[in-house]
Structure 1
Amino acid sequence: MKADLPPIVNLVEGMLTKGLGGLSAKSKLGKSWLALQLSVDLACGTDFLGFSTKKCGVLYIDLENTPSLTQDRLRQILDGRDAPKNLYFAHDYNLMGEGFEDDLTEFLKTHPDVKFVVIDVFQKVKRGKQQNQTDYEADYEILTVLKNIADKFDGCIMPIYHDRKAVDPTDPFSNLLGSTAIIGVSDFVWMLFKENREDKEATLAVTGRTIQDASFKLKREGVKWVNLGNAAAVEETRRRQEYARDPVVNTIKKLLSQNNGKWKGRVKEIIESSQYFKGCRIYGSAQKVGQIIRNRIADLQEYDQIYHSELTKGTGGSLHVFETENPTFKNWS
């Protein structure tokens, strides 16, 4: 191409570009708090989750909360700071196709500093599908209208969505309600999710046309989300720490150290031996400890080059054989 096109502008470094975006999560998971935190950081030009931002005006269309509740949440996010004058809120909008587009376009015309718009939640302004339209066709049509507005005003519009009830653990983006149309039209999409609702941490997965796919492990500190780092790296660190603390693992390593790198015995013997090693006492049934060993086979081999085999012998339970070429375990963490 001969045209000298301007570079793609990131409103949040590596995470949020101009165009049509999207943020989705299950109900009450904290996506509105995340969007409000993002809006404040963009309006102030402060880092968001540790990433630099491009300061701009922000319009937050809050269709789920009363003005007083929005104000209370904003005060909590600001934590004593003054509210930025370029952060605007709206609580009453028409449906798309019934005036929403005109109202939004007029606002952006009269507020040229605004380059980021949140619609919380999109379902509140989404009109019903027309006769003979499929769900995909209806979603694609109205989302294309939003994308055109975002592109026309050189900004970003981020609708907030709810996840489907069904969950595909292998692909979080497939859990997005109306995912096919949303991902097809959007320039980027964020998914906030937990493996279990009671988990203290959540994962923010990011994908898009001009941003690199990434996942971040987040944790709530007060009302704000804090970035703990790359999700895979955080999980690997946690996995290693759990492995290093496991009394079953440490008992096996002690037995190998005492027996020149090879030990054979039953689970009951491992449990009995643990009481003689400081900090290794194992509490639990032979059945439970046997399952722990089987679950740790890959970790034993990966972290300490300990190889395991299991022999069935008689009625006294299986014999577990452990071998290693590094019986001193100088690399213990």
Structure 2
Amino acid sequence: MWEDKETTAPDPSVAPDGEQPSALARTDSIATFEETNKQFGKMRIFSMPELMDTHFPSRPCIIENLLPAGTYLLAGAPKIGKSFLVLQMAYQVSAGEPFLGFPTRQGTVLYLALEDTYERLQKRLAQMTERDSPDLVLSVLADTLEEDLLEHLENFLFEYPETVLVIIDTLQRIRGRMPDNGSYAVDYDTIAKLKAFSDQRGIALLLVHHTRKEGAEDVFDTISGTNGILGAADGALVLHKDKRTSGDAILDVVGRDQPQMRLHLHFDSPHSLWQATEVETEPFREPPNPLLEFLSRLVNEENPLWSGTATELVQCLSEMDSAQVISPNWIVRTLNVRQDDLLRKYGIRYGSRRTKDGKVILLRWEGVR
């Protein structure tokens, strides 16, 4: 029987410097701390050896190299094509189709189009595709954060457990009338609440927002509001044009969990679709990891399950290639850090559990999506 019982960190509050904890995938169990971890108030501390030995739940990537799990902004000037872009994203993720050429993780998508009508959404989708996606769910109404929006989103995720992406168009529509609106603290607190929600549930939350009229040397400084908005978010995508009437645009991307990129886009008006014509900054592609390559030979469709200690795994791998010198400690550290690559590229899910004899590694083949 497969069982994941990891030593994981609970989701702490968002730090004032903007650094955020990793998202916790809702499909993985969230175990409590072992007694060896000390606690001082809200501080739960790790020594470096404890940290490196900890198996955190996987943080899935919704759009490879473009949108990991977490909370992100999509900003741009009014009427520049943001809503077309996010509707296209919502449909293509829900259908498992590539978005702007990037592979997607198929799942349910909730699109809150709070500045649109159902008739307009129907027209745009009819132009965009002839194939329906039952996993795309849309609404043009939603409560504000003051009106328990997060509780309603929680109920939605209970009804639709395969949800991977929630798009809110626009951020301002759910903020409501907040005192001291425009202050750093208020901006930061708003995004921090949404980020804590997305992190705890392992989904991507995309907030559509506006840019200011004033330009800036750094395009991300044009995002409307204080630095608290971008500081609390995991990253941002900014859509901008040289001329409003142009069918060409640039999408700049920055974030904690993906490389900074610039995409050149062109809008296909007859089909209401954005197309990537050039990726100016190619994402960094790491060379194949020898351990992951070995594991793909050990765990696959013919041999879908493997469990044992790190020492036993070393023995299995040395039988495959005696020239490789691999330590149990290196195996555990590599699996903890590279588990997302192991699942995405090789279709192998990594888990672990504690027994009286020590830590047992669990590997299960799920197939590459």
Q: Same fold (TM over 0.5)?
A: yes
TM-score, structure 2 as length reference: 0.59
Supply the distance in 1 between the matched residues of 2:83 and 2:190 (Cα, whole angstroms). 22
Verify: 1:46 aligned to 2:97, yes or no.
Answer: yes
The secondary structure found in structure 1 opposite 2:205 is strand
The match for 1:25 is 76
Return the match for 1:140 from 171, 179, 188.
188
Return the match for 2:247 from 170, 185, 200.
Answer: 200
Letter in 2 for 1:52: P
Give the partner amino acid of 2:139. A
| CA displacement at 1:196 relative to structure 2 | 2.3
Query: What is the number of residues matched between the two proteins?
Result: 229
Is the 8 Å Cα contact of residues 183 and 226 (structure 2) preserved in structure 1? no
Within a 5 Å distance, the mapping from 1:137-286 to structure 2 comes to 137-168=185-216, 170-222=217-269, 223-231=272-280
Q: Which structure 1 residue ranges, 5 or more long, are not aligned?
A: 234-333
TM-superposed deviation, 1:119: 0.5
Q: RMSD of aligned C-alpha atoms?
A: 1.7
Aligned pairs for 1:54-93 (under 5 A) are: 54-78=105-129, 80-81=130-131, 83-93=132-142
Uncovered stretches (5+) of structure 2, i.e. residues with no partner: 1-51, 283-369
Given that residues 206 and 215 in structure 1 are in contact (C-alpha distance below 8 angstroms), is that contact kept between their aligned partners in structure 2? yes
With CA pairs under 8 Å and 6+ residues apart, which has the higher RCO, 1 or 2?
Answer: 2
Per-residue CA distance 1:232-282 (angstroms, 9 max, x = gap): 79xxxxxxxxxxxxxxxxxxxxxxxxxxxxxxxxxxxxxxxxxxxxxxxxx
> For the Cα contact (< 8 Å) 2:260–2:281, is it kept in 1?
no
Match of 1:275 in 2: none
Distance 1:216 1:44 in 2: 22
Task: Kindly indicate whether residue 177 of structure 2 is the aligned counterpart of residue 125 of structure 1.
Answer: no
CA drift of 1:58 comes to: 0.2
Are the structure 2 counterparts of residues 134 and 226 from structure 1 closer, same or farther at C-alpha, using a change threshold of 3 Å? closer
For residues 41 and 179 of structure 1, the distance between their equivalents in structure 2, rounded to whole angstroms, comes to 32
Conserved? CA contact 1:17–1:188, under 8 Å: no
The answer for the alignment partner of 1:278 in structure 2 is: none
Shift of 1:7: 4.8
- 1:124-176 Cα shifts (integer Å, max 9, x gaps): 11123336x762111111211111111122101111001111111x2110100
| CA radius of gyration, larger in | 1
Helix, strand or coil: the match of 2:198? helix
Give the letter aligned to residue 120 of structure 1: D
CA distance in 1, matches of 2:238, 2:182: 24
Using the size of structure 1 for normalisation, the TM-score is 0.66
- The answer to which structure has the higher helix fraction is 1
Matched residue SS, 2:146? coil
Question: CA shift at 1:66, angstroms?
Answer: 1.1
The question of 1:116 aligning with 2:168 is answered no
Aligned-pair identity (%): 28
Secondary structure of the residue aligned to 2:221 is helix
Once the two structures are TM-superposed, the CA of residue 8 in structure 1 deviates from its matched residue by 3.6
